[in-house]
Amino acid sequence: MATIRLAVIGLGKIARDQHLPAIAGDEGFVLAATVSPDNAGVTGVPHFASLDNLFAAGPAIDAVALCTPPQVRFDLARAALDRGLHVLLEKPPGATLGEVAALVAAAEASGSSLFTAWHSRYAAGVEPARAWLAARRIDRVRIVWREDVRVWHPGQDWIWQPGGLGVFDPGINALSIVTRILPRPLLLQDALLSFPANRAAPIAAELTLQDTAGTPVVMDLDFRQTGPQSWDIVVETDSGTLTLSSGGAVLALPGQSRHDADREYPALYRHFAELIAAGRSDVDVAPLRLVADAFLCGRRVEVAPFVD
């Protein structure tokens, strides 16, 4: 297959920390252009202030990776799909479920590949955990996803705005893992969302869920944790306890454990290349649907203002 000429749209922290190194290490892609109105770009790579400018004057491209905040992603993705380009959507794939549904239709109409890139599903322990759980009775699940927003999202005001998800921006990573490793769909039962008095998105959340067989799942999210960070999923089964920690990188099973190197974003791009080669899309909205259900049905409480 010919090398895929890729443009990265949005050059914030996630693009620079993860996307650009993964692209540089993948022979199937070449970074053909970058787009950002607020960033000088990458040395030696054509850079544009807008996607329209890239289309008007830039080099030919085959695909785009959208790393912008979710609130502005739909119009950019739709413009790319309408030109027959393949599109990778950083998580969450859109600000609403309706946006993602419209993009699926646009991708089908254009014959382009559309990929909702749930990067945490590619953590080293996720697929082994899924395989181990498939043969066991699951009794209960507990998710603790607590981190320091000032460390991971410094000065990112978009995350506190409508559509920015607040603490669900990292929390949706946990949901992307559990919807992959558990054998049955999850349903929201209750949610308590803690909104800072000066913000439009929650800083913490407690979710009560169950799968379609009634297995209880509880979730604890918080953006206010300092010191060691917590990204843990504990699954109690009839054969003992499975623990995924470090965001899915470390898997502990009864009597054994494994920890592999970070491979999430390189695996994302390998899969994106495979989708393009096969003329397929990979779109899953299950994690986003659960977040939407929490906003729809959750109880809201006001907590102290947050100042970055």
String of DSSP letters for the chain: -PPEEEEEE--SHHIIIIIHHHHHT-TTEEEEEEE-TT----TTS-EESSHHHHHHHS---SEEEE-S-GGGHHHHHHHHHHTT-EEEEESS--SSHHHHHHHHHHHHHHT--EEEE-GGGGSTTHHHHHHHHTTS-EEEEEEEEE-BHHHHSTT-GGGGSTTS-TTHHHHHHHHHHHHHHSSS-EEEEEEEEEEETT-SS-SEEEEEEEETT--EEEEEEESB--SS-EEEEEEEETTEEEEEEGGGTEEEETTEEEE----HHHHHHHHHHHHHHHT--B---HHHHHHHHHHHH-EEEEE-----
| Within-domain flag for 64 | yes
197-217: average pLDDT: 97
Q: Given the structure tokens 């320091």, which residue do they identify?
A: 148
Task: Please check the confidence at residue 277 and state whether its pLDDT lies above 90.
Answer: yes
| Within-domain flag for 37 | yes
| 129 and 196 both lie in a single domain | yes
Bond prior to 92 in cis (omega within 30° of 0)? yes
Pairing of strands 29-35, 4-9: parallel
Ranges 100-104, 152-156, 241-245, 295-299: which has the least confidence: 152-156
| 149 and 297 both lie in a single domain | yes
Residue 262 confidence (pLDDT): 67
pLDDT in tens, 139-189: 999 999 999 999 999 989 999 999 999 999 999 999 999 999 999 999 999
| 216 and 242 both lie in a single domain | yes
| 33 and 97 both lie in a single domain | yes
Residue 1 confidence (pLDDT): 64
Q: Given the structure tokens 């559309």, which residue do they identify?
A: 114
Q: How far is it, in rounded angstroms, from Cα 253 to Cα 276?
A: 36
Residues 186 and 210: beta-carbon distance below 8 Å: yes
Task: Please check the confidence at residue 258 and state whether its pLDDT lies above 80.
Answer: no
Residues 152 and 275: beta-carbon distance below 8 Å: no
Q: What is the CA radius of gyration of the chain?
A: 19
User: What CATH code is carried by the domain that includes residue 136?
Assistant: 3.30.360.10
| 138 and 96 both lie in a single domain | no
| 206 and 269 both lie in a single domain | no
User: What CATH code is carried by the domain that includes residue 85?
Assistant: 3.40.50.720
| Catalytic sites, residue numbers | 91
| 171 and 299 both lie in a single domain | yes
Neighbours of 76 (CB within 10 A): 20
| 91 and 66 both lie in a single domain | yes
Residue 183 confidence (pLDDT): 96
Domain count for the chain, please give it. 2
Residues of the chain with pLDDT > 90: what percent? Answer: 93
248-257: average pLDDT: 88
| 164 and 299 both lie in a single domain | yes
| 64 and 162 both lie in a single domain | no
Residues 152 and 170: beta-carbon distance below 8 Å: yes
Q: How far is it, in rounded angstroms, from Cα 125 to Cα 120?
A: 10
Task: Please check the confidence at residue 280 and state whether its pLDDT lies above 80.
Answer: yes
Q: How far is it, in rounded angstroms, from Cα 166 to Cα 170?
A: 8
**Residue 248 to residues 63, 121, 153, 176, 262, Cα–Cα distance (Å):** 28, 8, 20, 11, 10
| Within-domain flag for 247 | yes
pLDDT in tens, 77-104: 999 999 999 999 999 999 999 999 999 9
Ranges 176-185, 227-236, 250-259: which has the least confidence: 250-259
| Within-domain flag for 188 | yes
| Within-domain flag for 98 | yes
| 98 and 162 both lie in a single domain | no
| Within-domain flag for 22 | yes
Range of the domain at 60: 4-120+264-283
281-304: average pLDDT: 98
| 192 and 228 both lie in a single domain | yes
Q: Which residues pair with 5 in a beta bridge?
A: 30
Geometric angle at alpha carbon 173, from 170 and 179, rounded to 5°: 145
Task: Please check the confidence at residue 65 and state whether its pLDDT lies above 70.
Answer: yes
224-231: average pLDDT: 95
Residue 58 confidence (pLDDT): 86
| Within-domain flag for 308 | no
| Within-domain flag for 106 | yes
Residues of the chain with pLDDT > 70: what percent? Answer: 98
Task: Please check the confidence at residue 259 and state whether its pLDDT lies above 80.
Answer: no
Q: How far is it, in rounded angstroms, from Cα 104 to Cα 115?
A: 10
Residue 261 confidence (pLDDT): 62
